[in-house]
Amino acid sequence: MKKDAAEANLDDKPISGDYATLLKDVKERIRSAQYEALKAVNKELISLYWDLGKIIVERQKEKTWGEVCGRAACQGPAGRVSWNSRFFGQKHLEDARFLFIL
């Protein structure tokens, strides 16, 4: 891909100290925001798993729900919850239960 004249002229000029500092600060801020977003998502997912585990354990204690999620129920579309093109099935529910009882 060819560069136009303006882009070519920018490549020939040295980057000033102020611009380099600005660029460094912007990149640092972006990385910081990405990291904070990642931590927030992880916190929410852990909270979700813990809550699901609590629900499962309580239902099992009440004997209103035996198996975590029956194989037949989790294999069909009604037994799986689609999330970001992934399915939340039996393994996830078993992991959630395990997290709660730790």
Whether residue 42 lies inside any domain: the answer is yes
**Whole-number Å distance between alpha carbons of 93 and 66:** 13
Question: Is residue 47 a part of any domain in this protein?
Answer: yes
Tens of pLDDT, residue by residue over 11-34, are 666 778 889 899 999 999 999 999
Mean pLDDT of the chain: 77
Measured CA to CA, the distance from residue 94 to residue 90 in angstroms comes to 6
Query: pLDDT tens for residues 40-52?
Result: 999 999 999 999 8
**Whether 86 contacts 96, CB under 8 Å:** no
Question: What range does the domain containing 27 cover?
Answer: 16-101
> Which secondary structure element, helix H or strand E, spans residue 81, and what is its range?
strand 81-83
In a domain, 72, yes or no: yes
Tell me whether residue 80 is in a domain.
yes
Q: Assess if residue 6 is contained within a domain.
A: no
Q: Is residue 57 part of a domain?
A: yes
| The one-letter amino acid at 86 | R
Give the total number of structural domains in the chain. Answer: 1
Whether 66 is covered by a domain: the verdict is yes
